[in-house]
Structure 1
Amino acid sequence: MTTELLDAALVEEATKKSGLIWVRGAQGVERALWHVWHEGAALVVGDGPGEQPLPGLADGGAATVTVRSKDKGGRIVGWRATVVEVAAGTQAWDAAVAELKGKRLNAADGEEMPARWARECRIVRLEPDLGAGLPAASEGDLAAPPVPTPATTRDAVPAGLPRLLGRRRRP
C-alpha cells in the first residue's frame, strides 16, 4: 500500500509541475498536450478549432502519459491512465472549465471560450491507473519523428547580414 501512495504522490507532483505531458492513446502517435492537474487527474481540452488535437483518446479507453522535467527536458515518470470524457453542462464540466480557462494561453475569444468549448471541443480527464504500479522505464532515448505539419522554419540568414550588422557608425 505504501508503494502505491508514493507512486500516486510522484505522479501528482511531477504532473502538476510539468507544463506539458506526452500522451499516447490506444492508437495514434504520442502528442505533447498542455494540461491542468485537478482533483486527482490531468485535464486536457481539445479536438476543436484552434485547440490541440486529442488523437486516440476515447472515453473509457486507456492512455500512456509521460511527464518530463520543465527545465532539463528529461523523463521524470510515466504512468497509465484511464480516459474519461467530461460531459458538457455537468458540475464536473463547470469545475474543469474553471481550472482550464485560467491556464489557456493566447485565447482569441476570452470570455466566450467556455461556450465555444461546450459547442466544439472535448474535455478529457486522464485518471492515473496505479493498480499495477508504474510502468518500467523504457530502454533507449524514446525519440520519435516529428508529426507532419505544413509549418516551416525561416530561411537561413543571408551571408552578408552579420557583416552589415557588425559595422559601427563613427561618431
Structure 2
Amino acid sequence: MLDNALRKAAAVWIRPDGHEPRLVWALWRDGAVLVAVGGTEQQVPGLADGVTCTVTVRSPTTHSHLVDARATARRADLDDDAAQALRAARLNGRPEWADVYRLEPA
C-alpha cells in the first residue's frame, strides 16, 4: 500500500518528531521519499539526519487519508540521475536546495 501510494504522490505531509506536520513536494525513488529543503526550496523545521518522522500520504484526487508511515531521515548525496529526477518532479522553475533527505520507511 505504501509503495503504491508514494509512487502516485507528488506531495506528502511530513511530521518530524516534536514538530508540526508540513506539506512538502517529494519524490518516491529507490524505496525512499526524497525531500529537498533549504535554499529556494521548502523549509521543514526539525528535519535533520537521523530524525524519526511520520510521512502521511493522501489521495491525489480525493485528498482522503491513505496511509501513515514512520520513517528515518538521512541526509542524501544524490547522483546525477537522482538530482535530475528530483528537479524534473518540480514544476516551478529551477529548484535550488541546500539539502536533500531520504525518508526511509521503517
Residue 71 of structure 1 deviates from its aligned partner by 0.8
- Scaled by the length of structure 1, what TM-score is found? 0.58
Correspondence 1:78-157 to 2 at 5 A? 78-87=68-77, 92-107=78-93, 110=94, 113=95, 116-117=96-97, 121-129=98-106
What's the secondary structure of 2:84's corresponding residue? helix
Distance 2:81 2:35 in 1: 13
The alignment-based identity, stated in percent, is 39
Correspondence 1:36-47 to 2 at 5 A? 36-47=27-38
Q: Which residue of 1 aligns with 2:21?
A: 30
Structure 1 stretches of 5 or more lacking a match? 1-9, 130-171
CA deviation vs aligned residue, 1:104-148 (integer Å, no higher than 9, x gap): 1112xx4xx5xx43xxx110101010xxxxxxxxxxxxxxxxxxx
Residue 98 of structure 1 deviates from its aligned partner by 1.8
What's the secondary structure of 1:28's corresponding residue? coil
Distance 2:71 2:32 in 1: 9
Q: Does 1:18 align with 2:16?
A: no
Structure with greater proportional strand content: 2
Structure 1 runs (4+) greater than 3 angstroms displaced: none
Structure 2 stretches of 5 or more lacking a match? none
What's the secondary structure of 1:105's corresponding residue? coil
The answer on whether the counterparts of 1:64 and 1:79 sit within 8 Å (CA) in structure 2 is yes
Residue 53 of structure 1 deviates from its aligned partner by 0.6
Looking at CA atoms only, which structure, 1 or 2, has the larger radius of gyration?
A: 1
Q: Which has the higher contact order (CA 8 A, sep 6+)?
A: 2
CA deviation vs aligned residue, 1:31-51 (integer Å, no higher than 9, x gap): 001111110001010122x21
The RMSD of aligned alpha carbons is 1.4
